[in-house]
Amino acid sequence: MILTVFHKTRYEFATPVAGIIQSLRLIPARCDSQKVIDWSVDVPDAVMGEAFRDGAGDYIQTVSLRKRVEHIEVTVRGKIETVDTAGVLRGHRERVPPRAYMRNTVRTEPNRAIVELVHQALRDAGSATALERAHLLAAAVSDALPYRPGATHAHTTAAEAMNEGAGVCQDHTQVLIACAHLADLPARYVSGYLNATEDGSAHEASHAWAEIFVEGLGWVGFDASNKCCPNDQYIRLGSGLDAQDAAPLRGLVLGGAAEALDVTVVIEAQQQ
């Protein structure tokens, strides 16, 4: 499948700031499920650092504005060919060992509700394989947290989402990571895009899902929000321990001020 991406992020500051330094994860990962045809990241008036591939196999690019600014705008335009690999991450070179993704963060620390969710999900698992247990956990998270926009916010933790009893893709992913760790399965947060319309029409969709490491198979994606494994409708950008660690845009504002954020993401499918 051929997917085109338009992604614009604009920060407006209440008063001019002294400068901005950002770290961008906005270049698609190199793996068997996707091949970049054309891709650009534009930040007007900024100094763009050379993109590099980190130990997790993801591309990172630094950007800085070394002057007083009232706003910053980051625009991504791209075209990518995707292939359905049933959620299995293949051809993705990385040096970080899977067990490094057994560490919880503040955002993925389990509470009693998450511990109980894992117990119930795996209660009858018996001799189930690691892959089967991962599927059981993903299904349990989907059932426990109905998708409800506005129920949580950007800084909500997995424990808080469970207490709320609803959430969005960020919450599903962080709760699933917490569950996987309790089941002794390495897991990480993945950020990217999803073309969610079956007819290929334009759809606004930044997205997130989890990858769980299965011995003998490798990293496997689980989208608890949509009760599936990622297919050719997905574009993988980057990964991390949680939503903050894997964020497509992270930065430092010099002389910080109140800000307003506006994000537009449009994905379209083209026939090959």
Q: What's this model's pTM, rounded to 2 decimal places? A: 0.94
Question: Which pLDDT tens digit goes with each residue over 10-42?
Answer: 999 989 898 999 999 999 999 999 999 999 999
Please state the rounded mean pLDDT for residues 247-266: 88
In a shared domain, residues 102 and 236:
yes
The answer as to whether 182 is a domain residue is: yes
The answer as to whether 118 is a domain residue is: yes
d(CA 138, CA 121): 9
In a shared domain, residues 76 and 174:
no
SS3 62: strand
**Structure confidence at residue 197 (pLDDT):** 61
In a shared domain, residues 154 and 199:
yes
Check whether 137 has a pLDDT greater than 80.
Answer: yes
d(CA 179, CA 146): 17
Question: Which pLDDT tens digit goes with each residue over 35-77?
Answer: 999 999 999 999 999 999 999 999 999 999 988 989 999 999 9
The answer as to whether 216 is a domain residue is: yes
Pairing of strands 69-82, 19-24: unpaired
**Structure confidence at residue 203 (pLDDT):** 52
C-alpha separations of 269 from 84, 94, 103 in Å = 14, 29, 37
Question: Which pLDDT tens digit goes with each residue over 210-232?
Answer: 999 999 999 999 999 999 999 99
The answer as to whether 89 is a domain residue is: no
Domains identified in the chain, total number: 2
In a shared domain, residues 201 and 77:
no
In a shared domain, residues 253 and 234:
no
Q: How many CB atoms lie within 10 A of CB 16?
A: 12
Question: Which pLDDT tens digit goes with each residue over 84-120?
Answer: 999 999 999 999 999 999 999 999 999 999 999 999 9
CATH code where residue 265 lies: 2.60.40.2250
In a shared domain, residues 254 and 220:
no
Question: Which pLDDT tens digit goes with each residue over 168-208?
Answer: 999 999 999 999 999 999 999 999 999 976 554 555 579 99
Quote the domain boundaries for residue 20: 2-83+249-270
